[in-house]
Chains A and B, each alone.
Chain A
Amino acid sequence: MITRRILMAAGAALMAGSLFAGVVQAADKPPVRIGAILPLSGAGAFDGQLAAEGMEAMASIINKKGGILDGRMIELVKYDDKGVPEEAVSAAKRAIEQDKVDAIVGGWFSAVALSLKEETRDKMLTIMTSSQHPKVTEEGHKYNFRLNATSTMNSNTYSKFICDKMGLKTIAFITINDDYGRLEAQNYEKLLGECGIKTLGNEYYNRNDTDFTTALTKIRALKPDAIYVSAINTSQGATIYRQIRQVGYKGTIIASAGNMNPKLVELSGPALEGVYSVSLFAPDSDNPVLQEWIAEYKSQFSNEPAFIGSLGAQAVQLLADAMNKVGDSRDYDKIAAALKDGAQETLLGTFEFDDKGQALQQAYLIRVVDGKITSVKD
């Protein structure tokens, strides 16, 4: 962490120096401040860290090219929401009133995102990255946007693939006991049922569980052709994948959409080899902005660039482009309109926002091959 700070400080000093040496006298322009409200301690700390790193990498890229709005640098101000709603509210208030940020990016846990959007309602431009609770955009406001796909959006692509290409007759689910998990199970059970795949069973686990052998023993006894694993938390996911093999199950494993990341692959070891999933982020895609971001990320941080980081980067990129288009960092009506106006080109591809601020992104089929996440081209 300290090395990162030194790097950023050095980078900032270099930039300041080069600006002075340059022709354009931009040194007196105030930075554009983006508040990042993320879990930096407690349960979601690792994911929060990845998101912050993703945002910083993108901000560095933009700043190296001269910043936005004619020379203003992007500055990230980070706040820890501890994964708890009232902390997010404190952070948002502080960001808006004391630190006077221009925009807010945040919302990993659903409860947090829901409180956060109420705090910024009609006041502050907000981009929610990963929370998947439908109400985030259903009851959103005119300055509120969300990047991640809801699970219903992913399921259409994925269920088609599972139905057509995997040759399964029966399946069992192990999902997390919350909105996301329950919706997921319901959805897929229906979609897969329609093409003749029978659901033999469904086990729900809790947020704080660390051992899954009881549930997996039950599932194994049902002898399904495949087990569908729905796990957002990397630690739980890796444990489940490993324990599936440890209880002696030999069938196919299917990973839920939107939850694949390099850490998961690293921790799950051989258990995840050959497993399919769906993601908005395919690291081997040939999108030049994505490759540039990956390179920048790797030069600054020791973690592998992951999906959650790419969403953070996408948020920064969208904000920068929209602010540039409008020519102002605080005219939220115009910026929101610019975001909703047609195709947005980002490192994850081109997409549009619907009028509630929900991003309609392209999902890619991916597979773990030789310990790496690769896209599947059919």
Chain B
Amino acid sequence: MRQPLPLMSGHMDFVVLGQQIVNGLVNGMAYVLIATGLTLIFGVLRIVNFAHGEFYMLGAFITYYIITLMGVDYIWAAAIATVVVAGLGILANVLFFWPLRKEHEFTILLSSLGLALLLTNGGEVIFGADPKYIPSPFSEEIVELGDIFVTQQRVLVFGVGVVVLVALYYFIKNSTMGKMMRATAQNPEGAALTGINIRKVHAVTFLLACGLAALAGALVGPTAMIFPTVGSWAVLKGFIVVIMGGLGSIPGALVGGLLLGVIESLGGGYISLGFAEAIGYAIIIVVLLWRPQGLFGVARKA
């Protein structure tokens, strides 16, 4: 049924290639933002948090409601939503993850799965099952880089993503809390012994991670429609990137996320759209079999 691409000048082919790569990078940055939070929680706290995607969903929905119910501008709404959900993250920690910290990792994993189900279905009941659209002034405005078209919203996703990641990197490297987080990541018992307030580390980690997820939701939301079940999509992508990049590695999340985005875009564009996701998975399988600890990960001692 499909005709081959008409052979216009080679220029056109390059334009399409460039467009697909740009698309991939933007999608990839969304994955990076989601994955970074997830990898933080795993790296520092050794928790596999299935409910992570739900904070992405909440970020998107709270942004929507702040704009439509309170008439606030998009940028402010996104910022407020990020802060609110970061706070909800701390609440989730206090209610679920901190009390369970001594349990078997399966228990924590399963209760996070339950939390995810609760938030998704609760979201359906409270927000309604109908899809919604976050009205952002950037989503329809197009930026032209030569022959390549990108909406301002997508540029925003990429730009803010880079800024936030750089900020996070310096925070973890240089600040006191950052050092405490790294110490906890390396050796939880040792860290506690040297007097690090693990409780505070827990709280800050969740604050950062859920804030990142919410920011991703608020930024990426306007590029499509939002609905309460988008959380499971987000957490799935997040996990794939985290594992590929290496559990607990932020550079890994960055490279892994962008790589996944570009692979999906190119695979879909040049091989087959239907198999775009499958190609992504295939690449991940190859990476994992070659380097089980992920691209930047440290080999985990069982």
Name A residues whose Cβ lies closer than 8 Å to a Cβ of B: 41-43, 45-46, 48-49, 177, 185-186, 189, 199-206, 208, 210-211, 213-215, 217-218, 221-222, 234-235, 238-239, 242-243, 245-248, 263, 266-267, 269-270, 303
Interchain Cβ contacts under 8 Å between A and B, 24 examples: A43-B229, A49-B129, A199-B1, A199-B3, A204-B274, A210-B225, A211-B27, A214-B265, A214-B269, A214-B273, A215-B273, A221-B12, A221-B15, A221-B16, A234-B130, A239-B224, A239-B225, A245-B140, A246-B140, A246-B142, A246-B149, A266-B133, A267-B131, A267-B132
A199 CB contacts on chain B under 8 angstroms: 1, 3
Given contacts A177-B274, A206-B274, A214-B276, contact A222 B5 (CB under 8 A): yes
Q: How far is the CA of A41 from the CA of B230 in the complex (A)?
A: 14
- The residue from B1, B227, B274 contacting A189, defined by CB atoms under 8 A apart: B1
Q: How far is the CA of A328 from the CA of B176 in the complex (A)?
A: 80
Residue of B with least CB distance to A214: B268
Q: Does B39 contact A (CB under 8 A)?
A: no
* A215 adjacent to B1 (CB under 8 Å): no
The 5 closest A-B pairs by CB, nearest first: A45-B129, A248-B149, A235-B131, A214-B268, A235-B225
Does B20 reach chain A (CB closer than 8 Å)? Answer: yes
Least CB distance, A331 to chain B, in whole angstroms: 37
Complex Cα distance, B224 from A43, in Å, reads: 16
Q: Dominant SS at the B interface? A: mixed
CB-based contact B20/A214 at 8 Å: yes
Contact between A217 and B19 (Cβ–Cβ < 8 Å)?
yes
B: interface residue count bin = 35 or more
Beyond A214-B268, A214-B276, A235-B131, whether A267 also contacts B225 by CB under 8 A is yes
Least distance between B187 CB and chain A CB atoms (Å): 40
Interface positions, chain B 177-210, Cβ under 8 Å from A, are none
B223 within 8 A of A: yes
Minimum CB–CB distance from A231 to chain B (whole Å) comes to: 12
The interface bits of chain B over 218-231 (1 if a CB of A lies within 8 angstroms of the residue's CB, else 0) are 00000111010110
Taking the nearest CB of chain B, how far is it from the CB of A180, in angstroms?
Answer: 16
Given A217-B16, A221-B16: A185 and B129 interface contact (C-beta under 8 Å): no
A217 adjacent to B3 (CB under 8 Å)? no
Binding site for A on B (CB under 8 A): 1-3, 5-6, 12, 15-16, 19-20, 23, 27, 121, 124, 128-133, 139-140, 142, 144, 149, 151, 223-225, 227, 229-230, 233, 264-265, 268-269, 273-274, 276
Cα–Cα, bound, A239→B281 (Å): 25
User: Is B269 within 8 A of A218, CB to CB?
Assistant: yes
Q: Is the CB of B233 within 8 A of A41?
A: no
| Among A185, A201, A205, A269, contact of B133 (Cβ-Cβ < 8 Å) | A269
- Which chain B residues lie closer than 8 Å to A214 at the CB level? 20, 23, 264-265, 268-269, 273, 276
How far apart are the CA atoms of A210 and B227 in the complex, in Å? 11
A267 to B12, CA, bound (A): 32
Interface centre among B224, B233, B276 (most CB of A within 10 A): B224
Q: Does B131 contact A41, Cβ atoms closer than 8 Å?
A: no
Please state if A215 and B133 are interface contacts (CB–CB under 8 Å): no
B230 engages A210 (CB within 8 Å): yes
| Residues on A with beta carbons closer than 8 Å to the beta carbon of B133 | 238, 266-267, 269
- In whole angstroms, how far apart are the Cα atoms of A206 and B274 in the complex? 7
> Are A222's CB and B224's CB within 8 A?
no
> In the complex, A65 Cα to B264 Cα: how many Å?
58
Q: Distance (Å) between the CB of A233 and the closest chain B CB?
A: 9
B149 CB contacts on chain A under 8 angstroms? 246-248
* Chain B CB within 10 A, most for which of A42, A214, A270: A214
A48 to B265, CA, bound (A): 33
Bound-state Cα–Cα, A234 to B225, Å: 10
Given contacts A46-B129, A246-B149, whether A217 and B139 have CB atoms under 8 Å apart is no
Q: Once bound together, how far apart are the Cα atoms of A49 and B130, in whole Å? A: 9
Q: Which residue of B lies closest to A208 (CB)?
A: B233
Q: Which residues of B contact A303 (CB under 8 A)?
A: 130
Q: Report yes or no: A41 in contact with B121, Cβ–Cβ below 8 A.
A: yes
Smallest beta-carbon distance B183→chain A, Å: 39
- A47 vs B133: C-alpha distance when bound (angstroms): 17
Residues of the B chain whose Cβ atoms lie less than 8 Å from the Cβ of A45: 124, 129
Known A-B contacts A215-B268, A222-B6, A246-B149; the reply to A203 vs B273 at CB < 8 A is yes
Most buried by A among B121, B130, B265: B130
| A283 → B minimal CB distance (Å) | 18
| Residues of B close to A201: CB separation below 8 A | 2-3
Beta-carbon nearest neighbor of B265 in chain A: A214
Contact B142 A248 (CB under 8 A): yes
User: Bound state CA distance, A248 and B154, in angstroms?
Assistant: 14
| A210 and chain B: residue at smallest CB distance | B224
Selected from A46, A217, A222, A242, the residue in CB contact (under 8 A) with B269 is A217
Known contacts A203-B273, A214-B20, A248-B142; is-contact A46 B1 (Cβ 8 Å): no
When distances are taken between beta carbons in the complex, the residues of chain B under 8 Å from A186 are 1
